[in-house]
C-alpha cells in the first residue's frame, strides 16, 4: 500500500549469487546509454527498462494482467479493468521508440531497435560479461 509504511527493501536475497543482469536497447547496433542522466531520469529509465524486458520475457504480460485474469472471472468487467490498469499491446509496441527518444536519440521508422539482456558475473575484483541475448520485440 502506498499509504502503509511497509518497507521490505533488500531483506530478501532472491538470487544468492554473485551475478546480475542488465538490459539495454541498441539503436542501429549502438548501445543506447542512460547512466549519464541525472539520478531520477537514470532511475526511471533503468527501472522501466527492466519492467519492459520482463514484460517481453513473460509473453507480453505484466503483473496486473496476470492478477486480473486470476481474480476477476467476469469477462466484461475484467476487460474493462484490463483496458484501464494495464498497457495495450499497441502501446507497449510503441514504447521502445519512446524510450530511445526520451534518452535523447533520434529514431526513424527505418532504424533497427534491439532489446538485449546482458548477464554479468563477479569474480574477484572484476565484473565480466558472461552472456548476452536478444529479446524479441514484436509489433514495431
Partner 1 sequence: MQQITPYRFIKAPARLLGCLLLLEYVIFIFSGTSFSFLTNDPFFTLPADPAFWVFFGTGIPQFIISHHWLGSMLDIITLLLLLSFAYNPLKRGVALSLCVLLFIFYITLMGYLTHRNFQFGFFVVLIPFIFKKPLNRYLAFEATRYFLLFFYFSAALLKFTNNALADPAHFSHMLTSQFTSYFLEGETGFRTDLNLYLVNHTSISHALYIGAFVVELFAFAGFFTKKFDKLIAWGLLLFHFLTWLIMDIGAVGQLSFISMLFLGSAFLKDTEVADSIDYQTNTILKTNG
Residue from the set 28, 31, 134, 136 that interacts with partner 1 by CB under 8 A = 31
Verify binding: residue 19, partner 1, rule CB under 8 A. Answer: yes
Q: Which of residues 79-98 bind partner 1 (CB under 8 A)?
A: 81, 84-87, 90-92, 94-95, 98
For residue 27, the number of C-alpha atoms closer than 13 Å in the C-beta half-sphere is 17
Tell how many helices (H) and how many strands (E) occur in the chain: 4, 4
Q: How many whole angstroms separate alpha carbon 93 and alpha carbon 90? A: 5
The residues that bridge with 119 in the sheet, in sequence order, are 21, 131
Q: How many whole angstroms separate alpha carbon 101 and alpha carbon 105? A: 5
Size of the site for partner 1 (CB under 8 A): 64
User: Which cell numbers in the block locate residue 1?
Assistant: 500500500
Kindly state the smallest distance separating residue 133's Cβ from partner 1, in Å. Answer: 14
Kindly state the smallest distance separating residue 24's Cβ from partner 1, in Å. Answer: 6
Q: Which chain residues interact with partner 1 by CB under 8 A?
A: 1-3, 5-13, 15-22, 24, 31, 33-44, 46-48, 50-52, 55, 62-64, 67, 81, 84-87, 90-92, 94-95, 98, 102, 118, 120, 122, 124-127
Amino acid at each position: 500500500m502506498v499509504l502503509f509504511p511497509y518497507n521490505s527493501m533488500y531483506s530478501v536475497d532472491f538470487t544468492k549469487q554473485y551475478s546480475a543482469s542488465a538490459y539495454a536497447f541498441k539503436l542501429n547496433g549502438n548501445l543506447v546509454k542512460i547512466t549519464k542522466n541525472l539520478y531520477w531520469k537514470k532511475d526511471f529509465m533503468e527501472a522501466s527498462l527492466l519492467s519492459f524486458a520482463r514484460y517481453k520475457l513473460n509473453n507480453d504480460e505484466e503483473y496486473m494482467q496476470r492478477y486480473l485474469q486470476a481474480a476477476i472471472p467476469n469477462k466484461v468487467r475484467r476487460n474493462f479493468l484490463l483496458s484501464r490498469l494495464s498497457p495495450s499491446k499497441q502501446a507497449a509496441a510503441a514504447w521502445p521508440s519512446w524510450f530511445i527518444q526520451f534518452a535523447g536519440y533520434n529514431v526513424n521508422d527505418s532504424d533497427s531497435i534491439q532489446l538485449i539482456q546482458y548477464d554479468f558475473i563477479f569474480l574477484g575484483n572484476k565484473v565480466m560479461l558472461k552472456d548476452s541475448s536478444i529479446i524479441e520485440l514484436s509489433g514495431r
